[in-house]
Structure formats: C-alpha cells, structure tokens
Amino acid sequence: MAAQQGQGPVAGLYPISTGSAELVPDGDSRDGWLLKINGVQSSHIVLSDPLRLDFEYMRWIVALIEDRFDPERTERLRALHQGGGGCSIPRYLAARYPDARQVVVELDAKLADYVRGWFDLPRAPLLRIRVGEARQVTESLTPATRDVVVRDVFAGSTTPDPLTTVEFIEASARLLDAGGLFVANIGSSPDHVSARTEAAAIAAVFPHTAIVADPAMLKGRRYGNFVIAASTTPIPASPALRRRLLGGALPAQVWDDGRVRAWVGAAEPRRDGASPGGAGPRGA
C-alpha cells in the first residue's frame, strides 16, 4: 500500500477487498487522478473541480439528470448510485445540487474507505456510502424515496447478470418518486446483442425510455458505452440537451422512446433464473 487512508491520494497500487485499486496521476491537471479497479479504468477525479468529468458517458448521465431536474429549480435532489468506484458522479451532483441527499452503494468496503480519504467527499447526510451488493441494497430501500437511480456497476467490462434482469429493474423503479429517472451505463460490443437485452429489460418495466450514445456506437462500429434513461413519464430531449450532447469532445445523439424500442426489436429481456449467473457485482 502506497499511503495511509485519509491522507489524500498518492499514486500507487492498493489492496482492496475484491482485488486491487490503482491511483494514477492523469498528467493533465495537478490534482487529477485516474482510478483503476483490477486494471480496468473506473473513475477520474479532479480534486479542485468536481464539475469536471473526463469520461464521456458520465457527462451524458449528468446531462440527462440536469435536463430533467433543473439545478436552479430543484430544491433537493435525492439520488441512489448503484456502484461507487471513485464517486465521480456523486461529487458532481453534490456541487450542482448543494442540498442533494445521495446514497452510494459500493461492494468493496476497503475501496469505500480509501475513496472517502482520497477524494474529499461530502459527509453524511449529504452523501452516504453504503457497503453492500447493489441488488440487495436496492431491494431493501423504501419505495418512492428517490428522484434519480444511477446504475453503473461492472465486473470487468460487463454488468453482472443479476443487475440486468426485469426483476432488478422493477426493484429500481419502485424506488423512484413521481417523475423520477432511472439511468444506466451499458457497455456494448459492436453487435449490440447484450445491450439490446439490457435495454429490453428496461423498456419492459418503464413506459418511457431514451438512449444517448455517439454515432459510431449507435451504428455498431466499435465497443463502448450506451446510456439509457427511463421513467414513468415522458423524457423529452430539450434543445439545450441536444446542443450539450453535440458540444462534447465526443458528440452524442439522443434517441427517443420510439427509436429505442425499434432498435431493441425482438430482443428478449433477461429474467431471474433464466440465464447463467455472472460474477459477483461490484461498483464501477
């Protein structure tokens, strides 16, 4: 271990409960850090600027959230993050919504301790880190108590099967208050087979969906990320949201519910017990 917990980030390899975490200076800013979990890039943090998000999919997620919940008009955002990692998005939302109440679910207890010490997170009740498995925690929470649920959980490069089923999406949907937003980060290969299966489960639970991705992803030209949003109420893409998505370093498009369902096509959603179990989930 390269440093003691609570003393701020120091480059090095750290043992955690699920393997290892590595902190790497990003080289572009004096206080920027890349967090790798078991060799896979998980989070990027700039200590002095919580509003800087270097991962495109994270920028897409917060763009969708802010389009639904205007920071100037939202008194207190209530968010659940299924997957912790370096808490990049929770730090961002804490800066944009100073009275937000957020819970982050992180499987790895040692990683949660490190992240608290490294990245100067807001303290409870503003931001709580709850150590546990994302599905178990989700199913234990009180219904209709969240405005936003963000699923960003990976074991390696894929989301574990138990967090992609209709039953898990139903459990997540129950947590949302009226007009709430479920947002999921989906890793996809160019054939989009697994992404369509995940999207099918979300579309089976929610009557309204939207997808954000860059054109190369949407056309199946590379491996990358989709962000899918879902709600019980329509998800109109405002002109401001479309401009924001097009103005990023990797311009993105937004598909409405009709295009999402046409893209899903005949893909069958995964259900509990209908597919082989995946590796134990951990926070991305």
- The predicted-structure confidence for 191-248, as pLDDT tens digits, reads as follows 999 999 999 999 999 999 999 999 998 888 888 899 999 999 999 999 999 999 999 8
For the entire predicted model, the pTM comes to: 0.93
Residue 81 class from Cβ within 10 Å (0-12 exposed, 13-18 middle, 19+ buried)? buried
Topology classification of domain 50-264: Rossmann fold (3.40.50)
260: enclosing H helix or E strand: helix 257-264
Structural domain boundaries in the chain: 50-264
In contact, 36 and 13? CB cutoff 8 Å: no
CA distances from 160 to 21, 64, 88, 168 (A): 20, 24, 21, 11
96: enclosing H helix or E strand: helix 88-96
pLDDT tens track for 89-126: 999 999 999 999 999 999 999 999 999 999 989 999 99
Distance CA 50, CA 277 (A): 36
